[in-house]
Amino acid sequence: MFRSFMFAVFLALSSMTVAADVANTVTLEVQGMTCAACPITVKKALKRVPGVSDVKVNYKSGIAEVNYDPNKTSPDELAKAITTAGYPTTVKGVH
């Protein structure tokens, strides 16, 4: 019984490591942010997209960096989410 439990734990931990390995980062150029509250709206729009794990938005530079799972979303879908929130967005680069 204990061996079965330990094997299940091992499999669970292994799958978490694999999930972390598929994360990508995209840099998005966000237009129209006119105040310090705008990044909050952009971040909320991105966090609603399935597969997004982390978001950083810089108001001054107009750049959003997003960590996401490419099996669940794409850079174009992320840009579309921000554009739908009212901020025209283009993909600047994927790393």
DSSP states of the chain: -HHHHHHHHHHHHHHHHHHHHT-EEEEEEE----STTHHHHHHHHHHTSTTEEEEEEETTTTEEEEEE-TTT--HHHHHHHHHHTT--EEEEEE-
CATH code of domain 23-94: 3.30.70.100
* pLDDT at residue 19, rounded to an integer: 47
* pLDDT at residue 52, rounded to an integer: 98
The domain segmentation of the chain, as residue ranges, is 23-94
Q: What is the pTM of this model?
A: 0.77
Q: Which residues of the chain have pLDDT under 70?
A: 1-21
* pLDDT at residue 7, rounded to an integer: 45
